[in-house]
Chains A and B, each alone.
Chain A
Amino acid sequence: MDMKLVALVPLLPLIGVLINGLFGAWIKERAHLIAVTAAGLSCLVAFVVFFQTLGGATLDWDVYPWLNVGDLKVPIGFLVDPLSTVMMLVVTFVGFLIHVYSIGYMHGDRGYARFFTYLNLFMFSMLMLVLANNYLLMFLGWEGVGLCSYLLIGFWYEKKSAADAGKKAFVVNRIGDAGFILGLFFIWTTFGSLKYTEVFAAVNPELGVGIYTTITLLLFVGATGKSAQLPLYVWLPDAMEGPTPVSALIHAATMVTAGVYMVARSNALFNLAPFSLEVVAWVGALTAVFAATIALVQNDIKRVVAYSTISQLGYMFLGAGAGAYPSAVFHLGTHAFFKALLFLGCGSVIHSLHGEQDMRKMGGLRKAMPITTWTFLLASLANAGIFPLAGFWSKDEILFNAFVRGLTIPWLLGLIGAFLTAFYMFRLFFQVFTGHFRGDHHTAHHLHESPPNMAYPLLVLGVLSVIAGLVLGFPPDHGLYHRYVAPIFEVAHESEAVVEHAVSAATEHAAGASELVMAAVSLAVALAGIGLAYLFYVKRPDIPAALADKLRGLYNLLLNKYWVDELYEAIFIHFGKRFCGFLWVVDARVVDGAVNGSSWLTMRLSAISSWHDMKIVDGLVNAIADLIQGGSFTLRRLQTGAIQNYILAMALGIVGMVAFYLFL
């Protein structure tokens, strides 16, 4: 079969969008049939394409010249290589499972068809982002997923908080996108093309480090917006206002990883800008720890997982910054499985508790919801990085690579983050699933396991969370997955000359510390985190409260998320308002004064002008009008409406023409 089948992968969800979007009012409760079929078929085709790439085949296919303006030539085209294939598989597979899950979760919602339309639109945009063969088309997908994110966060738009969260996500993403666009401009002016193949072929260290640093930093600004890194992460926790399947699909598994994908895709550029790589690594590591600390004390079950997502995205950037792009993308994949599972588990819990999200009112759900509990446990273990679950392999790889690169402090931060991750994951787990139920009596009676179409995705993702790492990522850095994606990053390694010598020393230094020791360290750290959580929330539930009392300041700092939202409010919004006030004064005094002055002048002038107008111009115009009116009354007689008059005129014309040819 032809690899060009890949066009079907984004096309099928688009067809779903068209059907559900146009006929949603009639389809109503059957919208999932179309949406789920589209997503499922798309996933199937993705696998077919994947099997064709196994032999090392790639496809760079310009389908249609999209923009052709001067020198700017941008096609709508697909690039199928291991990197985009991995992303495509993750997106379609997780996307399909979440579609299935949504059937149960969204059942009975008023916007059922609308929900599935958006979900399919998201799949389409994300697949365009991933499969594009040039930066501009990627940007189209990038904006498309942003739009879907906005629409889905504000899906329950009657709720003010949801609508506000949607706007916040949109505005914060805009800031990042501005950087991304500037990066694209720089790429185009530097390399004269936006196609990956042409840009990467034109990459040349002789252009100087400066231009690469500029481009990559601008691109990274875009990535921090989309992937919720410091300092633009603020939108992601609020994005939890959306329906939970959306949080799972968009705000955990796929869209937020677009930044990581973009950095990995641009590895040829990043490799020539050591400073940018360092920035990426530092931002990633700081975000990982920063978000993890906030997650320690949050009480909203979804917010904990949301901060965990930010933290894990930090790890991915740490990996990318360390030059370990395969590891970053690997973590992206495993994270997609277990984080989607965590969110779906949350959704299952929330569904069962009729919308309750406060962990303090949960507890003891283990008995009522066995499937959710066990899969959630697996996902928590995977997220905490416990051997041999998926998260262990990928996170360990990232930390190891960071260490090897000589990024010692980011590595240490990552290790601390691993400890915190284990702690907050199990704080959540113990609080929600063990102990006894702390909610009201009424809810306790209605506790129930989710229906099968919600439970099956949980099981599938649970299995994947367990085995994905072992099957694909063992042994570290040389697993099945690594051998599959190696060709893309091989080219990069050659052009790495600039980075190479800076790193060679670090490599020597790392040679001593074997990978095994590193793995043991991070495993021990994670286990310590779990142990602490067990101590705090199972053995001695009084400790956390006492600790919170003792460290009241720190506790409040974390509970209020370092007051970052307030800080932004104070700096940007408050300052913005003041600035607007100032502008208003300028407006009232200076601009209005000028306007009033000019209006007086205008009135005087127009008085003169009006006289001129009425006497001279109007006179002229009327004269012409009279002439035309008179003429038309005469000419009107020609338009008799009698067809035979017209034929006669035609015949006269024929006479004229024949005479012309004969005699002239």
Chain B
Amino acid sequence: MTVTHVVFFLMAAFTVGASLLVVLAKNIVHCAIALVFAFFGVAALFVLLDAEFLAAAQVLLYVGGITILLLFAIMLTSRISAGGVKIMNEQVGISAVVVLAIVGLLAYANLKGFPALVPPLTMADNTASIGKLLLTTYVLPFEVVSLLLLAAMVGAIILARREREKD
């Protein structure tokens, strides 16, 4: 048990706990808060994997962007006081079984026959090399994705816009 192991298990437990809260909490606002913690946990795991840039992006985008967006949506749509209402639909039982089956099968596959990969001890400068790759090899997808973002932005504006009065 090295320090890394300890940190990994701690972060893993933290993330899984937060995620469970996201899915199971009754109050939708609590879910959103739990989601923030789950994102933080994943960011920490990224750091553990020497992906500092991604960790930063994760915090900025998910925690800073998407969660805020979600919170806005919640406030605009839900009556927060709506307690006691069922939050799950009727297929909880069967869903649980199916999901457990998937998780079990994949985990089994993982443990059964996966080659033990030995990672290199150090990585090259993460942020710099990502920057280089994005502007050289992956410049086309990069541009395409920026176009996608633009389209999503326009689409979101049009969808969310209040329809003009009929006359």
Contact = CB atoms under 8 A, between A and B. Distances in A.
Q: Do chains A and B touch in the complex (CB under 8 A)?
A: yes
B94 A648 contact: yes
B91 interface: yes
Interface residues of B, number: 13
B89 interface: yes
Given A644-B89, A645-B91, A652 B105 contact: no
Interface stretch (A94-102, A469-477, A518-526, A654-662): A654-662
B108 to A, nearest CB: 7
A658 B109 CA distance: 9
B116 interface: no
B105 A644 contact: no
Nearest to B109: A662
Contact of A648 (B91, B105, B106, B112): B91
Contacts of A642: 89
A645 B112 CA distance: 32
Nearest to A659: B105
B102 A658 contact: yes
- Max count, chain A CB within 10 A of own CB: residue among B99, B101, B106, B109: B101
B102 A644 contact: no
A654 B109 contact: no
B98 interface: yes
A651 interface: yes
B95 interface: yes
Interface string B87-111: 0010100110011011001101100
A124 B91 CA distance: 70
B91 A658 contact: no
A642 B95 CA distance: 14
A122 B160 CA distance: 56
Interface in A605-664: 642, 644-645, 648, 651-652, 654-655, 658-659, 662
A658 B94 CA distance: 18
A648 B91 CA distance: 9
Interface of chain A, helix or strand or loop or mixed? helix
A658 B106 contact: yes
Contacts of B94: 648
Contacts of A654: 102
B91 A651 contact: no
A648 to B, nearest CB: 6
B101 A655 contact: yes
Interface of chain B, helix or strand or loop or mixed? helix
Contacts of A651: 95, 98-99, 102
A377 to B, nearest CB: 72
Nearest to B94: A648
Nearest to A645: B91
B105 A658 contact: yes
Contacts of B91: 644-645, 648
B47 to A, nearest CB: 31
A662 to B, nearest CB: 6
Given A644-B89, A645-B91, A648-B91, A655 B108 contact: no
Contact of A655 (B89, B102, B109, B112): B102
A396 to B, nearest CB: 72
Contacts of A644: 89, 91
B22 to A, nearest CB: 17
A645 B94 CA distance: 11
Contacts of A662: 105, 108-109, 112
A652 to B, nearest CB: 6
B108 A648 contact: no
A658 B102 CA distance: 8
Contacts of B112: 662
Nearest to A653: B98
Interface string A550-588: 000000000000000000000000000000000000000
B157 to A, nearest CB: 25
B107 to A, nearest CB: 11
A654 B104 CA distance: 12
A121 B93 CA distance: 73
A655 B103 CA distance: 9
Contacts of B108: 662
A658 B105 CA distance: 7
Interface in B93-141: 94-95, 98-99, 101-102, 105-106, 108-109, 112
Contacts of B102: 651, 654-655, 658
B94 to A, nearest CB: 7
Given A651-B98, A655-B105, A658-B105, 13 more contacts: A644-B89, A645-B91, A648-B95, A648-B98, A651-B95, A652-B98, A654-B102, A655-B98, A655-B102, A658-B106, A659-B105, A662-B109, A662-B112
- Sort A-B residue pairs by CB-CB distance and give the 4 closest, nearest first: A658-B105, A655-B101, A651-B98, A662-B109
Interface of A: 642, 644-645, 648, 651-652, 654-655, 658-659, 662
15 contacts: A642-B89, A644-B91, A645-B91, A648-B91, A648-B94, A651-B95, A651-B102, A652-B98, A654-B102, A658-B105, A658-B106, A659-B105, A662-B105, A662-B108, A662-B109
